[in-house]
Amino acid sequence: MTCVTFGAVRRLASSRRRVPWVARGALVVLRVYLGAVFLVAALPKLRQDFTPDLTGFVQQVALQRAHQFYRPFLEQVVLPNAPAFAALVTWVELLLGVTLLLGLLTRFSAAVALVLTLNYMFAKGAWFWTPSSNDAAFVAISLALLMGAAGRTLGLDAILARRWPRSPLW
C-alpha cells in the first residue's frame, strides 16, 4: 500500500511540473495564431489604398450596425480622417502581426490588439456573446496573451526579460 501511495504522489508531482509548459505552449500557439491573423489582414491593405474600403465599410455597414455610443466616434472622428485611420489600421495590424509572431513586446502588442479588436466589435455592433463574433475571440486571446506573458516562451521577450525582468511590456 505504501509503494502505491508514494508512486501516485510522485506521478502527481511530475505532472504538475509539466503543466506550466503545456500552458506556455498553448499561449505560444495563441500568440502565433493571432499574429498570423493580423499579418494576413494587413498584407492586402499594403498593396492598395485602404481608404475607400474603410470609408465604404463605415458608411454602409458600421453606421447602421454600430452600437449607439460608438456612432458619434465614427461620424465625427473616423470618417473625416479616413485616410489617417486607414493608414493607422494598416500599419498597426502589420506591426501587431510581426511583433506577436516574434514574441516581441507581447504584452504591449496584446493590449493594442485588445483595443483594436474592441473597436472592430463596436463598429460591427457585436457583443462578446454574439455567436458570429470572431472579434470577441480575438479579444479573449489578447487578454490571455496580456496576462500570460506569452512572449517569454519561444519569443524575443525571453531575452528582454532577462535584461529587464520588471518591465510590464513583456
Q: What is the model's pLDDT at position 13?
A: 46
Average of per-residue pLDDT across 98-103? 98
Query: Where is average pLDDT lowest: 20-34, 94-108, 122-136?
Result: 122-136
pLDDT of residue 132: 78
Condensed to tens digits (0 to 9), the pLDDT of residues 132-150 reads 789 999 999 999 999 998 9
| Mean pLDDT computed over every residue of the chain | 90
> Given a cut of 70, is residue 62 above it in pLDDT?
yes
Could you tell me the pLDDT band of residue 18, with boundaries at 50, 70 and 90? low
Q: What does the pLDDT average to over 114-139? A: 92
User: 61: how many CB neighbours lie within 10 A of its CB?
Assistant: 13
Q: How far apart are CA 82 and CA 51, in angstroms?
A: 6
**What integer pLDDT is reported at residue 130 of this predicted model?**
80
pLDDT of 16 strictly over 60: no
d(CA 68, CA 168): 34
Torsion angle, alpha carbons of 80, 58, 123, 68, to 10: 70
- DSSP letters, 1-26, are -HHHHHHHHHHHHHHHHHHHHHHHHH
Q: Average pLDDT in the 23-52 region? A: 96
* Least confident interval from 34-38, 64-68, 110-114, 129-133: 129-133
Copy the grid coordinates of residue 63: 453606421
pLDDT of residue 149: 85
